[in-house]
Structure 1
């Protein structure tokens, strides 16, 4: 009579197979064409002859002096992020909520990433954390709240390095910012 495999072995084998399949699909998706998405807000007027303002139709340009090639650009002054592809075209741009500790302007790289939910320094459940700098003993990272909320005002004197994103923007940064991705911080 042939030996029967225990159920844990079947589950382990299926889990490893599923992880391998997802990894292959993720690599294939990253190498394929990438759509350009720009967040725009609809005009409050629904009249047929209303024309959108240039602010609604034209995305904010990538700041001068923010480097070249595939990178994330983070503007401290504009509180905005751009995901820039290898041809120097902005694939996505959006505003963010910075923490109380900001990195100095300069070039950084994505060091580590944490996908699962954890509690941020503001007590909010966050996910898709992309670490790229250390400033004043505080880790600086992009993340989004699990529930999609904006961050609460920090308590007086609290040092927070989280740059909070909207949920869809957090997913876009997570997909774009693989380990070693360049992050350019500008004033």
Structure 2
């Protein structure tokens, strides 16, 4: 009568076989086509009932007059931000909702950063605030709503310096824009 293998030997053999099969499948999957994600963001609007715009087909090119090196570029005319690395490669670009007071063209630096939620001048709970200049006696800063919403329309004559970002873009900017990071504002 042949010797019988203990159950632990069977379980160990099956486990090793399963690990080998998963490893082979992982290597094959790694060699296959990889998914890509298109950069699609909602189109900012000053109205509270703003609806997302059609998907963008290609991200906008960083403005030529925005300098060189690692920086955050904000275009007042396009209501767009670019995160540009040290090799002048755009890492991310997205539309924003501007405040009613625009910063003047020029080069600034991220100063104070506040991650904890607070209430913005428009009454919305905001977080990840990155101040970079003052304009017309008002601080200008990037931030995102805690709930990810777009800002409500500003009341007539109200001055707001918050440049509001969609939540995912606010997270990306927070990671990219440490204190001292250059912010270049173009027209």
Q: Does TM-score exceed 0.5, indicating one fold?
A: yes
Residues 155, 168 of structure 1: alpha-carbon distance in 2 compared, 3 angstrom cutoff: same
Distance 1:158 1:106 in 2: 24
Counterpart for residue 58 of structure 1 = 58
* Contact 2:73/2:81, CA 8 A, preserved across alignment: yes
Matches within 5 A, 1:73-152: 73-152=73-152
* Contact 2:96/2:163, CA 8 A, preserved across alignment: yes
Distance 2:85 2:38 in 1: 14
Q: Which runs of 5+ in 1 are unaligned?
A: 1-35, 42-54
Distance 2:175 2:82 in 1: 14
Counterpart for residue 20 of structure 1 = none
- Secondary structure of 1:172's partner? helix
* Contact 1:130/1:142, CA 8 A, preserved across alignment: yes
Q: Which runs of 5+ in 2 are unaligned?
A: 1-35, 42-54
Distance 1:94 1:37 in 2: 14
**How does the TM-score come out when normalised to structure 2?**
0.72
CA RMSD across the alignment: 1.6
* Contact 2:39/2:58, CA 8 A, preserved across alignment: no
Matches within 5 A, 1:34-49: 39-40=39-40
Residues 37, 159 of structure 1: alpha-carbon distance in 2 compared, 3 angstrom cutoff: farther
Radius of gyration: which is bigger? 2
State the number of aligned residues: 139
- Secondary structure of 2:56's partner? helix
Counterpart for residue 171 of structure 1 = 171
* Contact 1:143/1:165, CA 8 A, preserved across alignment: yes
- Secondary structure of 1:108's partner? strand
**How does the TM-score come out when normalised to structure 1?**
0.72
Residue 91 of structure 1: how far off its partner (Å): 0.1
Distance 1:39 1:101 in 2: 27
Residue 58 of structure 1: how far off its partner (Å): 2.0
Counterpart for residue 185 of structure 2 = 185
- Secondary structure of 2:140's partner? strand
